[in-house]
Amino acid sequence: MPVGPRLWPLALGTLLLLLGVFSAWQTWLIANEGHAAERVQQARDEAVQVLAQVVAAQRATVQKAVSSVDPVSLQGDHAALVEALRVKLPQAQQLEIYSGSLDEVVHANFREFGYAKAAQLMAAQTADGLPPVQSVSHGLRDRRLSVTWPLGSPQQAQAWLWVELPFAPVQQAFEAVSPASGRLDLRQGDVSSDMRILSNGSASAEAEAVAKPVPGSTFSVAAGSPVAFIVLPHSWPTTLLLALAGVGGGLYLLWWRQRRRESPVVEKDIDIEEFKLSQEAARKAAPPEPLIPKLAAAATPTPEPAPKPAAVGVTVDPAIFRAYDIRGVVGKSLSADVAHLLGQSIGTLMREQALSEIVVGRDGRLSGPELAGALADGLREAGIDVIDLGAVPTPVVYFATYHYNTGCGVAVTGSHNPPDYNGFKIVIGGQTLSEGAIQDLYQRIADNALERGGNGSLRQLNVVPDYLERIVSDVQAERHLKVVVDCGNGIPGAVAPQVLAGIGCEVIPLYCEVDGTFPNHHPDPSDPHNLEDLILAVKQTGADLGVAFDGDGDRLGVVTKAGEIIYPDRLLMLFARDVLARQPGATIIYDVKCTGHLKGQILEAGGSPLMWRTGHSLIKGKMRETGAELAGEMSGHFFFKERWFGFDDGIYAGARLMEILAGDLEERSPEEIFDTLPKGVSTPELKIEMAEGEHYRFMEKFKAEANFDDATIITIDGVRADWPDGWGLVRASNTTPVLVLRFDADSTEALKRIQAAFRTRLLAVDARLKMPF
């Protein structure tokens, strides 16, 4: 924008002043840079020394216990020997004895036995001296110190002791060392390994590539020096010259201001054109209030009003109680009175399970505050204490159930449905309710079997900073990526940009203002039409890629710089490779809508593939049953158990994707990495709209009558017909009254043939159907 001639003196003086201030700041940074790096390296050395002492003390404890063992007992009953050692090591969390040859370990099922445990025991046989101490993980929150010790002669052990001790002494010693303004990373493995166990200090500090080993262990400590934004050469004459220019600029500004006072001039207003994407709707006169201040305000204690009783004679539509959540149209099948009764029903179930506290959050829909408030009143009426999280993405509600140790939570959300919808996703006792458990909630209401007269408490807490910190402290993008983030005006706009920026990405926000009317496009990344703006924004800004989230943040969509949509089943291939690199043999679950190439990719990466029914709560239930480390759905739900909690979280999945793309050793572009994933010719999810309930009746008839001759039929969820060169699927949606179809094949010809086979059989059941293909 051109500067008017009357403003040139102001611009010149301001520039000189800013140069002076900048040079002074740079001078301070230059002086401080070397000292900061030296301080964090001293902290690293201190941490190594302290940890070595802790490791030595733990080994000495084990050695003392072993030295008391009668050598004769090694020939006898090992069970008795284990019990004797337990007395000597009461702090041991696990204690086992194996033969000197370790035959039982060599032939064990490593998936059940534990890969890390087996590797440590077998490495002990060839170790020079005593085997090093390391750690093993039993889930996300349970890390232990593992010690392997020879029984009998160290040169030829008659048996091997495996003992797991509390990890707390190591963690406490590490966290007690202050890294100054930098960061310390506790790693495990080779000194050049980036397998970080703990981190202490600034997340933005740059860690050294090679860490310093901790004697007697497989641990090492890496120093992360603070990043200083230094652009000036380390030259004192240069900085001094700029500082003098700044002083001159400041004096010039004082003179110019005095002169303006003496001869005032009325300047015309200057129009400032802001950069907008060509398809972005005009902003409202009063833009939505930023959400983060609202969240902060929500943390302020408020008086606890008594829970309001539900209206007498409320009619509850059983159709809103669906397969894996509760969903209805506000003002028709869903109201505050219904939400109150639902709260009582959930509270009654919790009371039966001796559970007393629950977290409640809501998405950005306009009906959210009223429904969440009525739900909380019903819960309190049943005697349940409620933690109100305010407006947050659904994954943040799931996170809060772990963070506050409630095991119970309700997300008031309409997910990817139209603005007039809303609903409830429910977790009780650590399990997401589905099918029969959801129907049970309705039956309690219908039978009027509800707890009443309770007076549960209500408090507001802001869990978003803890959610951000948990992700940013574990996930980092090692290479700079520029990414457009499209939140479709849904609630992820309050959190997702901060997460991706926090892990090291340059974020360009698109439709991140939370607005429950969704004025720009519908927040459903599974529909390619909703990604058109994102594709254009990525091209216009030169970003590396774009990501999109649904209305409540548990789904992820991805587009490339070239405008290609990377469908979730192909993303799951990439996630599976990454997880299986650390968890070989792990089970990876995918739903019936995913590509046939996925099974082969999981097997090739060393995993165990398992196809299952569509639905976030059904997938999570199968993960608990099988111990799977990762799962995904074609709709864009991703469930990470490895390094996370196992719930569906589109925001966290986006962060893990950035970590993978930015951590590529060959520094390939995202497109080059995605090109390594096989793809055929496929369709997105296609939908045939029907009346409420009609889609279920249609599927019952279709399943009974459909015959696909030479195809393999899978009916765990709808009807999927698999041929050697492709497959087709039709199923009833459990969230909206539609039939969902998808087709995938090795060639266009095969795709057309499969679609024709389905078209014939679909129309044979109902000739009135309007085919979307």
Instruction: Note whether 563 and 630 are within 8 A (CB).
Output: no
Exposed / middle / buried, residue 317 (Cβ in 10 Å: 0-12, 13-18, 19+): middle
Structure tokens at 648: 């569906």
* Among 143, 188, 183, 182, CA closest to 166: 143
Residues 6+ apart with CB under 8 A from 261: none
Q: Cα 384 from chain centroid?
A: 28
* Among 601, 568, 552, CA closest to 742: 568
* Among 99, 69, 67, 93, CA closest to 81: 69
- DSSP annotation of 289 reads P
Element (H, E) at 254: helix 236-262
Q: Cα 17 from chain centroid?
A: 45
Structure tokens at 261: 């006072």
Query: Which residue bears the tokens 């002669």?
Result: 153
What is the chain's alpha carbon radius of gyration, rounded to the nearest angstrom? 30
* Among 472, 434, 424, 431, CA closest to 646: 431
Structure tokens at 203: 């997340």
Sign of CA pseudo-dihedral 732, 733, 736, 739: negative
Q: What are phi and psi of 148, to 5 degrees?
A: -110, 130
Exposed / middle / buried, residue 49 (Cβ in 10 Å: 0-12, 13-18, 19+): middle
* Among 7, 283, 11, 43, CA closest to 173: 43
Q: How does 244-283 read in b/e, with b if 16+ C-beta sit within 10 Å?
A: ebbeebeebbeeeeeeeeeeeeeeeeeeeeeeebeeeeee
User: How many residues comprise the chain?
Assistant: 773
* Among 739, 709, 707, 746, CA closest to 724: 746
- The catalytic residues are 327, 415, 637
Nearest-angstrom CA–CA distance, 402 and 467: 11
- DSSP annotation of 648 reads B
- Amino acid letter for position 559: V
Residues 6+ apart with CB under 8 A from 315: none
Element (H, E) at 42: helix 8-67
Q: Cα 626 from chain centroid?
A: 21
Residues 6+ apart with CB under 8 A from 529: 521
CA distances from 314 to 95, 318, 334, 445, 527 (A): 58, 13, 11, 10, 36
Structure tokens at 355: 């559970």
Instruction: Note whether 573 and 598 are within 8 A (CB).
Output: yes
Nearest-angstrom CA–CA distance, 62 and 149: 8
* Among 63, 94, 70, 102, CA closest to 84: 70
Query: Which residue bears the tokens 């793809």?
Result: 679
- DSSP annotation of 147 reads E
